[in-house]
């Protein structure tokens, strides 16, 4: 029998789910969901990221890496471990990531301070940002800070890949217009709990 990704990388999915649920019970609005992203959603995010990279060199930064469900999908999609930088604010989740992912860079800190975090950790240049942050449940000023920071760190033409459970884009219209972002919507993943959509946002090279 072929080894699974989890067995090859020492991952315990049940332990990750238990930890995620415990953190959700403490801070439900910060976590955004009761359970980690499903395999189908993680794979959809990884596909969108690989497509968005389009051969661009640089780091792939994952925001809100949690228990590493999307990280696993990014690695399985062929993104080199040394190319990944995982940003996680919660100390317990960051410690979990360090135990289970030895090659990606793990940065413990607030995504709202992204440009400074990346600079302090020598993580440049950036090729794409993948986010599992619950933007729809965060205060407006925090969402503004995160999205502004993402596009301050990204070169023009590079992408933010972000999923949402809501029916509208996860980046508010006023913020999209302010930053002149172009959003592309993926298909709804009905088998995720709850159903989710992956969006890709870019600032075009010429605006």
pLDDT per residue as tens digits for the range 37-84 = 688 999 999 999 999 999 899 999 999 998 899 999 999 999 999 999
How many angstroms from the chain centroid is the CA of residue 24? 17
Confidence of residue 15 (pLDDT cuts 50, 70, 90): low
pLDDT per residue as tens digits for the range 160-179 = 999 999 899 999 999 999 99
pLDDT per residue as tens digits for the range 28-39 = 444 444 445 688
pLDDT per residue as tens digits for the range 91-142 = 999 999 999 999 999 999 999 999 999 999 999 999 999 999 999 889 999 9
Q: Within 13 A of 45's CA, how many CA atoms are on the CB side?
A: 33
pTM of the model: 0.83
Q: What CA–CA distance (Å, rounded) separates 19 from 91?
A: 12
Residue 84, beta-bridge partner list:
60
Q: In terms of DSSP bridges, do strands 196-202 and 182-189 run parallel, antiparallel, or are they unpaired?
A: antiparallel
């Amino acid at each position: 029998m072929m080894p699974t990704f989890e067995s090859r990388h020492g991952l315990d999915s049940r332990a990750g789910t238990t930890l995620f649920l415990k953190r959700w019970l403490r801070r439900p609005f910060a976590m955004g969901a009761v359970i980690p992203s499903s395999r189908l959603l993680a794979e959809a995010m990884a596909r969108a990221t690989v497509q968005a990279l389009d051969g661009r060199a640089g780091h792939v930064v994952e925001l809100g890496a949690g228990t590493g469900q999307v990280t696993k999908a990014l690695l399985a999609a062929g993104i080199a471990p040394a190319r990944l930088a995982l940003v996680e604010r919660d100390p317990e989740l960051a410690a979990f990531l360090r135990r289970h992912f030895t090659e990606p860079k793990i940065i413990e800190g607030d995504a709202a301070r992204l440009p400074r975090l990346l600079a302090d950790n020598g993580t440049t240049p950036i090729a794409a940002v993948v986010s599992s942050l619950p933007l729809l449940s965060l205060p407006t000023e925090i969402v503004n800070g995160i999205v502004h920071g993402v596009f301050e760190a990204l070169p023009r033409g590079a992408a933010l890949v972000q999923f949402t459970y809501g029916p509208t884009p996860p980046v508010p219209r006023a913020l999209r217009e302010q930053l002149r972002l172009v959003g592309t919507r993926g298909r709804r993943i009905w088998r995720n709990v709850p159903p989710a959509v992956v969006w890709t946002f870019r600032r075009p090279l010429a605006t």
